Structure 1
Amino acid sequence: MTDSHLLAVAFDFGTTYSGYAFSFRDNPLKIQTNQGWIAGSDQLISLKTPTCVLLNSKKEFDSFGFEAENKFASLAEDGQHHSWLLFRRFKMLLHSNETLSRTTTVEDINGKSMPAMTIFAMSIGYLKRHFLEALNKQKIGIEDSDIKYVLTVPAIWNDNAKQFMREAAEQAGIETKRLKLSFEPEAASIWCQTITTKAKESLSKSGNQYMIIDLGGGTADISVHEKQIDNTLKELHKASGGPWGGTVVDDNYLQWLKQIFGSATMQKFQEEQMEDYFQLHREFEIKKRSITPDSNGKITVRLSASLRELYQKNEKVQLDDKIASLGLKGMVTFTGDKLRVDASVIKGWFEAPINSVITHVQRVLKEPNMQRVDTILIVGGFGECKLAQDQIQKAIRNKCIIIPEGAGLAVLKGAVRYGHSPDIISSRIMPHTYGFSVLETFDEQTHYDATITFLDGEKYAEDVFSTIIRAGEGVTLGKIISKGPYTPTCQDNTTFNVYCTEKVDPKYTTDPGCKHLGRLRVSHSNGRCCKDNKLNASFIFGDTELLVKAVNLRTGEEFETYIDCL
């Protein structure tokens, strides 16, 4: 990456909400965010907008965010929405998806499919256009080539998901050489180094070790860093976490409503009262943030009268009788358009994701090399939830737990800072062991359990895992590991099959847990024979993505390439 950019902009493409922020190179810490998307008639103003895409009847992009939800609801009111497509909360499609490819599809809220790459590209393209319009209002004459783009991704994502996001950004018109991917907990860690609060005091001394828990909409993403003497950050533990974000609470709420009103009624409610359906989500989003450890008695959630009317039309059992049959008598009541629910019921919807986070964090902190970690930062949208904060603080008592001001925007602002100084993360821990599948001359003692093949009368062991780098190994930014020489089997190009596993010392690429990551294809000049095109392959580690260079040993020609994981 060159430093010729005038400004850096970060797109926080979230499961639930998306937004952007930017700053100019001459004042990188003066970070500007969009001043607010307006939800609609209730004038809810947010610094992020729902990750939601609306396509028209010709499957062309129409709108994004609150605007998309409101327009689709309006179309539904007039019965004109049937040929339109609305995609919501589709980012989790990329989480732990081993079969992810360029042809993977995603379904809209009514089950209609579109290529996922198209929907992601449309979303990123919208954020880019919105940003450029905002930028041009305050500064003219800035070219696209003056901008460095940063796209946030969970650190726990696989290589194929990261490549998917990069290619979607390219389709959205972002030049790949001006794009960086930023790991979300790393970005939060970077931002917390700059803010003048208790967090900075705890993190600013060299040698200090701390954990970042990024609780987002879809995932909980956990990293551990050590502040270095040169002010860079060293990763101490491979990124970890799971699908334990705030949307789990939303899903639990919807499942609970289905128990009361029935799945058929909830489906009709979504189809026939679209505006009320979206309002139900927005209402709960606001209510969710207000639940605290001290919340008791009954909590009021507004619920459209249309939902009760649909229930009375479609169900034979009276609503009060249904509530009693579920053991909720006295805990749930209805008054007009108000649903009154006992706080203990609502708190129950939070238990699963919060308990999963706590169990995982405790397991990581018990590891021998984590004993000096004395501070925990909680950031992210779900990280602002008082209930989550309280439960984590009660469960992990021997650590200093800090929730920085503006925890929900820490990732976004840190990603902007990372765009200006990508070398601020000086080393990372490898999450996997990477290697090639190779043939090895058969050795009776080593390859007693191998699949055997013969070439030119010689005996070889197949599928041997030739390790490039091991899981758990720390790598500095730009660390180069060269392998070779390799003799091509074809004059025009060489294709290597790359594998990865969480095992430290895999023996074969067919071992359990070992997966085919992708293909590394290198084109090369023609020689008289394959031996003329012997190659060395150099893997460049330490960045958020794996880079590869190959050198033709005869010509000195250098090829920069990437592993195709899709």
Structure 2
Amino acid sequence: MASQSVFVVAIDFGTSYSGYCFSLASGTDQIRQVYWGAEHGLKTPKMPTSILFNQKQEFKYFGYDAVMKYKSLPSSQADSWYFFQNFKMQLYNTNVTLGMKLKATNGKFLPALTVFSESLRYMKDHALNTIKEASFQTVYSEEEITWVITVPAIWNAAAKQFMRLAAKEAGIISDMLSRNLIIALEPEAASLWCKQLPHEGFMADSSDKKKFEDSPGIQYIVVDCGGGTVDITVHEIQQNHYLKELHKATGGGWGGNRVDENFINFLKEIFSDGIWDEYAKRHPTELQNMMYNFSLQKCSASREAVYIHCYYNLTRVAGSKKDISQFFENVAGTVWCDGTIMITYEKMKSFFDYSINNIICALREILCKPEMDKVQYILLVGGFASSIILRDAVRQAFSNKYHILCPMEAQAAIVKGAVLFGVNPHIITSRISCRTYGLCVCEKFDSAIHDARKRRVSKTGDFIYCTDLFEKLVEIGESVNIHEAAHYDFFPIEPDQTKLASLNTVVHTTNTIICDLPVTAGKPLDWSLTYT
């Protein structure tokens, strides 16, 4: 946290839903939760991660406003506006570049940096207005607010760095190295929130009444179940109640959106022969309504059949072929029920198979390792963890050995934990390196081990060396203490050498910065590597 900060603002920029919380930097006894959708008859801790630009590519709306405005547009106008949703997934498992573009629902493209930065700008401005109202109109300077933005732990360094750049473009920070912005890993933030919760802070939908112990030596797995990705990390509580990471972050694109995709594919099978494709193309606003209804149903705590309202234009398009009830004949697990599609609980569970199977498989792979023998808890967090189908599956697989816990505010656990992290970012003492880091060096040539094709002689002729060798500094899976510097000495080869390229490397768990470093001929270079 920046030493001058008065407030900490944490932004949970999710694949499906986003929101923010804030508190005074002097303490987190009262974390202010912001609710969304009141003007639309709703009250939710997060809003849809949806953004709308007009025909001139100008930002107009974000969140519920973007969804509702897009839904209200006539089809003739909707095709010329730029509507984006679930776009955060474009940064996962891909080659993130500054010039990358995102595809809107109208098939046209906008720069990814524009979409992300305008989204962050909206939340920044909203947060500043809220803080202004909460602090009796007092206006605080940039240096008096520490911002925290959450990202998946399994994102690569380029994606995490892209979020920092988007924050700069949004006006959250003025330069890339500003200490007023902290990039927080989502499962770590959730872990901080869960470990300080009382027993009553967890859902009581199982016979396991074990309270989570915030005691030194306790080891547990955090499964962050979001809309796009599922992040899995393992933590151990230290003597000072700080956290040590025991296993490198793992996971994949197994979030709640996969369930939505399976539901869509199910409807395509029912309304075949191009009927569904025609409906989706001509009536995107109705489809938005249907999918929003389904997203609420999939995270229900009920083990009963669900009813999805079938909108007018779908019945009209389908009815032009045959009576709509006939589409449901001989379709297992669903029934046409007077204007609604009834889906049995068993059929609903089948939409979760891909996500659940991957989550359970990943957990078993981690837990079978000898070093994980002391793990006692599995914490399920994130909006997708609200689903009783997901929680039941994890309990069935692991409750005989582990205590399965899910916080009451599963969706808000990450953003509230991010506030805690912003107040004390040193609470994470170490992380497991997800990559091997090193640099290119030269060594004295040894014919027994070195490739003769890489043999070189210095300009003075008194030093024979091998070029293009890899000096390993940190190995994948190695535990690295945060903010601890490792020092290395390197010597220039040539007497007139004045620069070593790509040596001043500060390796973050969130980004890597590489630049040239000047050297003095004949003198050793004392170089340090710091992890933050």
Flag whether TM exceeds 0.5 (same fold). Answer: yes
CA deviation profile, 1:186-232 (whole Å, cap 9, x unmatched): 11111112222267943211111111111111111111111111121
1:88 is the counterpart of 2:98: no
| SS of match in other structure, 2:125 | helix
Q: Which residue of 2 aligns with 1:220?
A: 230
CA distance in 2, matches of 1:262, 1:188: 42
Deviation at 1:145, TM superposition (A): 2.0
1:464 is the counterpart of 2:469: yes
Q: 1:467 to 1:301 in 2, by over 3 A?
A: same
Check whether the contact 2:242–2:429 (CA below 8 A) recurs between aligned residues.
Answer: yes
Give the alignment partner of residue 76 of structure 1, picking from 74, 77, 80.
Answer: 74
CA distance in 1, matches of 2:364, 2:44: 34
Give the alignment partner of residue 120 of structure 2, picking from 115, 124, 134.
Answer: 124
Check whether the contact 1:276–1:304 (CA below 8 A) recurs between aligned residues.
Answer: yes
Amino acid at match of 1:107: K
Q: Which residue of 1 aligns with 2:255?
A: 245
Amino acid at match of 1:398: K
Deviation at 1:181, TM superposition (A): 0.8
Check whether the contact 2:103–2:109 (CA below 8 A) recurs between aligned residues.
Answer: yes
Q: Which residue of 1 aligns with 2:402?
A: 399
CA deviation profile, 1:117-149 (whole Å, cap 9, x unmatched): 111111111110111111111212222321000
Residue-pair matches, total: 509
| SS of match in other structure, 1:311 | helix
CA distance in 1, matches of 2:401, 2:22: 37
1:433 is the counterpart of 2:436: yes
1:111 is the counterpart of 2:107: yes
TM-score (norm 2): 0.89
| SS of match in other structure, 1:236 | strand
Higher deviation after alignment, 428-437 or 118-127: 428-437
CA distance in 1, matches of 2:211, 2:427: 18
Deviation at 1:497, TM superposition (A): 10
Higher deviation after alignment, 46-55 or 259-268: 259-268
Deviation at 1:430, TM superposition (A): 1.5
Deviation at 1:264, TM superposition (A): 4.1
| SS of match in other structure, 1:407 | coil
| SS of match in other structure, 1:119 | helix
CA distance in 2, matches of 1:447, 1:474: 30
Alignment of structure 1 residues 159-558 onto 2, 5 Å:
159-175=157-173, 176-197=178-199, 201-262=211-272, 264-290=274-300, 292=302, 294-295=303-304, 298-313=305-320, 316=321, 319-320=324-325, 322-324=327-329, 327-328=330-331, 331-396=333-398, 397-448=400-451, 452=454, 454=456, 461-485=466-490, 487=492, 491=498, 494-496=501-503, 520-522=514-516, 524=518, 531=521, 535-541=525-531, 543=532
CA distance in 2, matches of 1:322, 1:533: 80
TM-score (norm 1): 0.84
| SS of match in other structure, 1:106 | strand
CA distance in 2, matches of 1:260, 1:128: 43
Check whether the contact 2:11–2:20 (CA below 8 A) recurs between aligned residues.
Answer: yes
Q: 1:71 to 1:107 in 2, by over 3 A?
A: same
CA distance in 2, matches of 1:481, 1:36: 46
Q: Which residue of 2 aligns with 1:552?
A: none
Deviation at 1:499, TM superposition (A): 13
Q: CA RMSD in A?
A: 2.7
| SS of match in other structure, 2:77 | coil
Check whether the contact 1:216–1:246 (CA below 8 A) recurs between aligned residues.
Answer: yes
Identity of aligned residues (%): 33
Check whether the contact 1:225–1:233 (CA below 8 A) recurs between aligned residues.
Answer: yes
CA distance in 1, matches of 2:325, 2:352: 25
Amino acid at match of 2:155: W
Check whether the contact 1:486–1:536 (CA below 8 A) recurs between aligned residues.
Answer: no
CA deviation profile, 1:271-307 (whole Å, cap 9, x unmatched): 4323311111111011112264x43xx5311121211
Q: 1:400 to 1:518 in 2, by over 3 A?
A: closer
Higher deviation after alignment, 385-394 or 341-350: 341-350
Check whether the contact 2:506–2:514 (CA below 8 A) recurs between aligned residues.
Answer: no
Deviation at 1:492, TM superposition (A): 7.0
CA distance in 1, matches of 2:255, 2:410: 15
Higher deviation after alignment, 482-491 or 47-56: 482-491
Amino acid at match of 2:97: S
Q: 1:283 to 1:461 in 2, by over 3 A?
A: same
CA distance in 1, matches of 2:454, 2:252: 39
Check whether the contact 1:57–1:85 (CA below 8 A) recurs between aligned residues.
Answer: yes
CA distance in 1, matches of 2:312, 2:74: 18
Alignment of structure 1 residues 30-49 onto 2, 5 Å:
30-38=30-38, 40=40, 43-49=41-47
Deviation at 1:495, TM superposition (A): 3.1
Q: Which residue of 1 aligns with 2:207?
A: none
Check whether the contact 2:505–2:529 (CA below 8 A) recurs between aligned residues.
Answer: no
Q: Which residue of 2 aligns with 1:512?
A: none
Instruction: Return 5+ residue gaps in structure 1 as ranges.
Output: 501-516, 544-566
Deviation at 1:73, TM superposition (A): 1.9
Instruction: Return 5+ residue gaps in structure 2 as ranges.
Output: 203-209
CA distance in 2, matches of 1:451, 1:385: 60
Amino acid at match of 2:448: Q
Amino acid at match of 2:521: K
Check whether the contact 2:456–2:467 (CA below 8 A) recurs between aligned residues.
Answer: no
Q: Which residue of 1 aligns with 2:21?
A: 21
Q: 1:189 to 1:66 in 2, by over 3 A?
A: same
CA distance in 1, matches of 2:110, 2:500: 34
Deviation at 1:532, TM superposition (A): 7.5
Deviation at 1:365, TM superposition (A): 0.8
